Structure 1
Amino acid sequence: MFAVTNIDDILVLALFFGRCAGHRGAAVRVVIGQYLGFAAILVASLAGALGAGLLPRPAIAYLGLLPLLLGIRAAWGVWRDRHGTGPDAGPGPDAGTGTGTGTASVLTVAAVTFANGGDNIGVYVPVFATAGPAGLVGYSAVFLVLVGVWCGVGRFLATRPPVARTLARFGHLLLPAVLIGIGLLILVEGHAFGL
């Protein structure tokens, strides 16, 4: 269930890790952000399963606004840097991340992870609702271990020479495109704004 609901997350992680190359501590920030974002998904799913109704089904679609806005912000940063109007005029890997280090912040990774996993909540809630207390602990523990595996796979992909070259050359363009695409997909699939 984890793999099926998070397969798209590997691409996003590879993009984030690709932007980490040569930046000390950046990979750790990506892992921490990934864990924070997924922990938020687990908390929302557990709350939904326990009847708290934290996120009503129609609200999940609007989580697509998070990656969409982050993608637009990143695209704006790329455009601004390319046209010499940004504070760090000239193209560079820092576009749109807000860190000035060429990497995404912990909160950016967490927000993208949470928004990208909004559909996961819809899958996890019914499963968690029938799992019982021991099942909830089991699912949560396995999922948290698998987040680490997912980070490892994303890092592995980002460090393969052909992938690393592609990410180094086009990563600053790919990240905004992927974030905008994820945001639009979540909004459209959830029928947000009547789409």
Structure 2
Amino acid sequence: MNVGVIGQAVGLFAVTNIDDILVLALYFSQGAGHKGAARNIAVGQYLGFAAILAAAVAAAFGATFLPESAVPYLGLLPLGLGIKAAVQAWRRRGDDEETQAKQGGPKILEVAAVTFANGGDNIGVYVPVFATAGAGGMSVYVVVFLILLAVWIAAGRYFATRPVIAKALSRWGHILMPIVLIGIGLLILIEGGAFGL
């Protein structure tokens, strides 16, 4: 295995996924105390990221599932989920902590959808790298990315469980999650030029 390719894969993953740590920390905060929440977050993250990798690999081999002009519209997924979370937070604003705790943690498909939509720009970065790396190099990138994804999930959980951060997220997470999701959605839409933005 080429050490240079591994190093490039580590660097590429880090710069294209740094924002995911905040989203993961918010999910882990939202799922605190809910049975199976950590599993749902990890599975959802892996499903969403596997879809990103599948799209990038397919495009590197010349097949595309989505026309390039459709990628910016993936921003509608986190935008819609953010609006849904904001409405739920507004409806629950008078609920006590015990009532809010019964609402459940993050769902696998929601996490996967946000991960995939937030990674739309990653696909654009990964395709030329994968195409020039060849099948062997591409395999190294994919393996390194999947290993680092576990590190990212652990980091998100770590940050969400630090006392100072956990206290802030438990107090403000229900407000931060919709803001972050709506922000991600708008950023994807605007940067991609969706709807002529």
Q: Does the C-alpha gap of structure 1 residues 110 and 18 become closer, same or farther in structure 2, counting only changes over 3 Å?
A: same
Secondary structure, aligned partner of 2:31: coil
Amino acid paired to 1:41: I
Question: Which residue does the alignment assign to 1:30?
Answer: 41
Query: How far is 1:56 from its partner?
Result: 2.3
Letter of the 1:140 counterpart: V
Structure whose residues are more often helix by fraction: 2
Counterpart check, 1:77 vs 2:79: no
Match of 1:87 in 2: none
- 2:166 corresponds to: 164
1:55 Cα shift?
Answer: 2.3
**Could you tell me which of 20, 38, 43 is aligned with 2:31?**
20
Matching residue within 141, 144, 149 for 2:143: 141
- Structure 2 unaligned blocks of 5 or more: 1-11
How big is each residue's C-alpha offset from its partner over 1:104-125, in whole Å with a ceiling of 9 and x where there is no partner?
1000100010001110000001
Alpha-carbon deviations, 1:1-44, whole Å to 9, x = none?
00100011110000001112222221111011000000000001
**Structure 2 length normalisation: TM-score?**
0.89
Equivalent-residue separation in structure 1 for 2:181 and 2:159 (angstroms):
18
Deviation, 1:172, is 0.8
What is the TM-score of this pair, normalised by structure 1? 0.90
User: Is 1:10 equivalent to 2:21 in the alignment?
Assistant: yes
Aligned position for 1:86? none
Distance in structure 2 (CA, Å) of the matches to 1:16 and 1:32: 12
CA distance in 2, matches of 1:191, 1:94: 41
Aligned partners of 1:162, 1:147: CA distance in 2, in Å?
A: 25
2 CA distance for matches of 1:94 and 1:117?
34
User: Alignment partner of 1:23: what SS?
Assistant: coil
Alpha carbons of 1:93 and 1:34: their partners in 2 closer, same or farther (altered >3 Å)? Answer: farther
Question: Partners of 2:96 and 2:173 in 1: how far apart?
Answer: 12
Aligned residue-pair number: 185
- Deviating runs (4+, > 4 A) in structure 1? 91-95
Counterpart of 2:19 in 1: which secondary structure? helix
* Percent identity for Structure 1 against Structure 2: 63
Tell me the equivalent position of 1:66. 77
5+ residue gaps, structure 1, are: 84-89
Tell me how far 1:136 sits from its aligned partner: 1.5
Q: 2:187 aligns with which of 185, 188, 191?
A: 185
Q: Please, which moves more after superposition, 52-61 or 154-163? A: 52-61
Instruction: Provide the aligned C-alpha RMSD in A.
Output: 1.6
Give the conservation status (yes or no) of the 8 Å contact 1:31–1:151: yes
Alignment check: 8 A CA contact 1:45 1:128 kept: yes
- Once the two structures are TM-superposed, the CA of residue 57 in structure 1 deviates from its matched residue by 2.0
d(CA) in 2 for partners of 1:100, 1:122 = 37
Q: Does the 8 Å contact 1:78/1:91 carry over to 2?
A: no
Distance 1:132 1:188 in 2: 32
Alpha-carbon distance in 1 for matches of 2:106, 2:119? 18
Contact 1:93–1:172 (CA<8 Å) still a contact in 2? no
